[in-house]
Amino acid sequence: MAIDDEPAVPQPGGLLRSAGVHGQCLELSEARESGRIELEATSADHPEDLDYVLSGTVETQTDFWIDPLPHSRIHLRELLLRVNTTGFRIQLDAAIPLPATYPLLSARCRLSLIGQYEWDEGFDTPDVRTDWRVHDVVRLRGGLDPDYMLLIQSVSC
């Protein structure tokens, strides 16, 4: 999961408390079972190129549109995917078809921390915050605004 330095980056073995996770969906597929979280390396040369494959049950689905540029509109879909007791907000292009096993599905995603401003500014989104155990921390780039990759597991899973 990718984060910047807000909140403070925990050390391996530490806890990331009350954090929500957002997934940018790369692919949806049929799931045979719920409650699985797998990690797939996509590039040996780049440790940040890790995808999480989340298999769970969709609790809610919300379609919305964004206007990134004048005269352009993008149709997106957000799913609240429940894997065991942990919720993930998964965003995808609305043109990606839902698999035949819907609401049970697998989503291959890049995960990132949901910004605190989304909770503070009253975005109308399900609260999926939970505590996460940190297994590994990799600093991706330096400078004044570093990014980190965390290998995490929900404490409630």
Give the whole-angstrom CA distance, residue 138 versus residue 18: 21
| Position 1 pLDDT exceeds 70 | no
With contact defined as beta carbons under 8 Å apart, do 53 and 40 qualify?
yes
Partner residues linked to 7 by β-bridges: none
Output 153 or 103, whichever has higher pLDDT.
Answer: 103
The reply to whether the predicted model has a pTM over 0.85 is no
Q: What's phi and psi for 118, nearest 5 deg?
A: -65, -30
Give the whole-angstrom CA distance, residue 3 versus residue 114: 9
| Position 17 pLDDT exceeds 70 | yes
- Exposed e or buried b per residue across 20-35, where buried means at least 16 C-beta atoms within 10 angstroms of its C-beta: bbbbebeebeebeebe
| Position 95 pLDDT exceeds 80 | yes
| Position 8 pLDDT exceeds 80 | no
pLDDT at 48: 63
